[in-house]
Structure 1
Amino acid sequence: MGIGRVMSEREAHVTLLGPTEIRDLAELLGIVPTKKLGQNFVIDPNTVRRIVRTAGVRTGESVVEIGPGLGSLTLGLLEVGASVVAVEIDGRLAAQLPKTVQRLAPDSSLTVIHRDAMHVIELPSAPMRLVANLPYNVSVPVLLHFMEHFPTIVAGVVMVQAEVGNRIAAIPGSKVYGAPSVKAEWYGSWRTHGQVSRQIFWPVPNVDSVLVGFERRERPLGDEAERLATFTLIDAGFQQRRKMLRQSLQSVLGDTATASEIIEAAGVRPESRSEQLTVHDFLAIARIADRHTKIH
């Protein structure tokens, strides 16, 4: 039996959520979507299937979903036969999700963890992919947290605010390139996969959304100490992004003369600005700085 046949049989047993079902579930739970939790529920099955297809999710894969809400995307993942671990901060939503799945996707593999995603450092299974509609206010920290703590995640797709998504996937030199861009690059390659209509959400947000896909590097750029040192430099550099590196990094590397010496030894021009550097440049500076400290 081929994968295509397996998927078609599963699809016959899974029902996705539409606008009416989403509103009925919210009313049942007494939920009024809040901006504080970034609750904008997806009400369009076609968009759900687009996300799952873009993420390349296959039958039998373990997927972690952050913020499943009422279960729109969860059902889409289960529809193709994935095994889903869903992390949900809202107790009412976490309690309802297994009931919704039991009714609309019986015999599916779902585990719900009721917790703040930023505090999750262990999961019951090793996820291969991360697929999520991330709340606008915490999308970057949550994404970087999961990339850091779950190295088995090799790829995925997240739906985020367009401004945030474009920043994550930005390249050096672009106007929106910043600390999130460089930190994301530590883990792998990122690219946008098109905008998503505001109308597929309830309630309709006042911002645009995009899909951002990623693939993890086959080998880490460095060890944990090097990552922490590199991220410290990235934060310092972009806090004063308009200044030359020798000025913006002196708070971490010492005075301007010492900073210039270290930056130059790393093969980077001290007159450069942070938005011109790749993650490799910041790592090179971190390694020279570490050697410089040991020498002195």
Structure 2
Amino acid sequence: MRKNIKLTAAAAATAALALGLTACGTASDPGAKNDAGAAADASKALVVAASPTPHADILTFVKDNLAAEAGLTLEVKEFTDYVLPNTATQQGQVDANYFQHKPYLDDFNKKNKTTIVPVVDVHLEPLGLYSKKVKDIKDIKAGQTVAVPNDTTNEGRALKLLADNGLITLKDGAGTDAKLSDIEDAKGLKFKELEAATLPRALNDVDAAVINGNYAIEADLEPASDSLVLEKAEGNPYANFLAVKDGNQDDPRVQKLAKLLNSPEVKKYIEDTYKGSVVAASGAAK
């Protein structure tokens, strides 16, 4: 039986309030490094915050098929946004999280003065351009509207995808944090900035949308076949990884999970389940 805990919107709001109250305690000072990782009780369940798909699904595969033999008790807590998993990890309400890539984490740590660090890469979700109104990227014309994620790193990533495929031209030097003002030539296109999770629902209202892989899968889109264009996996800096609060990297439970997430069994599960829409990655995250 799947025992993942999924936060509803109301539960998320309650959790956010609890996190705010907890932040008042000195033991939860975001700047304070927790050195208790190596001394953590290995018999306790490791609680990991994760996005539902594919992160929680991959963790559930580990829990159901690999964890017991490795001597690991794993609990998966699902979150449907990109903020609470890091906040909960920082405050110690979960032990780790698995939902994000490095550019997003760097931006989050900088803005929130948190000390979350990556442990091990697990997979890549190629970002894709989708449409219900055109069948080929060549059919996207001046005057049409393209929706993009409104968070800093994913918007930059989306704009790079559009630029790499000739839909726009970015100013020289525009990097992973590129924004709409960095578009040198929009080629007549209009843009709508939306929260990443809402982009699949916006497909009926725009001509095309750049959608994160996990949200595309949740919306029953198949990135490998349904996208007009898809990010290339080779050399991609956006691998998703297991992450912890700095100081907890040596928690034996975290180390066990990191090893399992990079196992041949998980690689095969990703390949068989997602068929190219999610690509296995491995190795220490940087």
TM-score, normalization by structure 1: 0.25
TM-score, normalization by structure 2: 0.26
Q: Which has the larger radius of gyration?
A: 1
Q: Which has the higher helix share?
A: 1
1 or 2 for the larger relative contact order (CA 8 Å, sep ≥6)? Answer: 2
